A and B are shown apart, each in its own frame.
Chain A
Amino acid sequence: MTKPLKIVVLAKQVPDTRNVGKDAMKDDGTVNRAALPAIFNPEDLHALELALKLKDDSPETAIYLLTMGPGRAADIIREGMFRGADGGILLTDRKFAGADTLATSYAIACAVKKINPDLIIAGRQAIDGDTAQVGPQVAEKLGLPQITYAEKIIAFENSEITVLRRLEHGVETLKCKLPLLITVNASAPSCRPRNAKQTMKYKHAKTVSELQAGGDAYTESLQTKSYLNIPEWGVSEIDGDEEQFGLKGSPTKVKKIENVVFQLKESKKLDGSDAAIEGLVKELMANHTIG
């Protein structure tokens, strides 16, 4: 075996938009985004699982989670470490704020370049935007090939990977030499739960900002245990063109946001009685909606 495989998993912390409950609704019928819980983007967990499977086969494989976001996004790096990742990096800087997918991809690509992995695995899309753009854009910025919508790794040998991908109307099996970027579909296997040993080991993993905020008696032990240190990278660490970060580097702008409010239609209310249903059916037949 040659040198061990290095994998970067791209992940995002997202508000859980899937189940917007009553608590998250404002009186005017719109969503209070701040009230939604922050979660590990679901398809990114599938991406992590794909990486962990490769590590099952070759335990010397190193998996690093890379996420961009505010300080609290360190939560998903820890979550990834509890489930089997070897470490993670938080990309965080006010200069990244307001980024669209292109500026996001640029920052992530700069960070990936610095890590220099053999394989990058990401979820297909994040549930807060549903764009599915960041994966392919990161690949393009790194000059790497991409395989999107992966469901399964069929073979991996001699640094050549064979992947089954699921499309709208079928499946395809593709083969490519590393390095490359893969995005993973929700139809891929779910991520394994936390591993007790890993959870104990990384329970006190913290970013510098979190340490400075204090409140953890383990602070001192961190100086000897470097694996408990989650690096925070900003613009100055990833060595990019400042013009391409954040709002400045974003070609798309939001012109307008409208909250979805149910619009009231002139609606006829019927009970389920025979007379009501017969009347409706006759009316629909008379105006040729049916029949």
Chain B
Amino acid sequence: MSGLVLLEIIFTIFQSIILFVIISKAVRLIVEGKNVFLPFFFMLAMTSYLLSNLYWIAYDFLKPDTRMPIACNEIGEGAMILLLSAGLESLLKDKKKVPGEIAFAFLFIGANIASWIAWSGEWLQDILFGIPYVYFFWILIRGIRSRGVLARKELWFAAVMSGSVLVLQIPLLFLEGEPLKFVTMVCLAVMFALMVWFGVKSFRSKDFFVTSMFFLWTELAMFLSPEPYYSLAFGANIIVLPMMFMSMKRELAHDLC
């Protein structure tokens, strides 16, 4: 087992502990609260994420240095995304299907899927497990726009920044040497700058949709980053989990569902 895998396992164990605490708190919310739908689906989503982590750790210990033929942990992550989407959907007051939003969700996640395929070569798996992300992303855009949590300028800023990360991924496929290093650094700088921006916005607004968008961005950044930047995105992914729980709890307090 390599040092990098060991580091990932340590991160995953730490994240699992955080998830366990969040799940326990969500169970308490279900037992004590009047509205059980959102905490129940949040709890199920976090349980899926925890199980996905446990699957990954168990696989690394039981079958070290072998690639999974079918990644069951990806099913767990897909479950988490779908269950979060179901929970968030219940908060959506305006479910209007704006073609522009749907197209952007399809194009953006589609481009992400293409880059995953370019890296792994697993066509079927990446397309299949990418579809929930399209739905999740659309729900988040709809929620943020209909609630007016972010200003129009801010939405454009996020769209341009996230789009440029994907555009910068294209030359990475054929560049070599110094240009490759330069473009990689620019791409990572844009990606992490947007992550920090989402982090600040989530902290300020404490809105469940914005926090979930921050979470989604940390996930996508993890998939697009090489080590050691992967660990950095992983760290941000761990930090966003308690933030998501707090914003979900805030939704219950406001009794918006």
- A and B associate: no
Which A residues contact B (CB, under 8 angstroms)? Answer: none
Which B residues contact A (CB, under 8 angstroms)? Answer: none
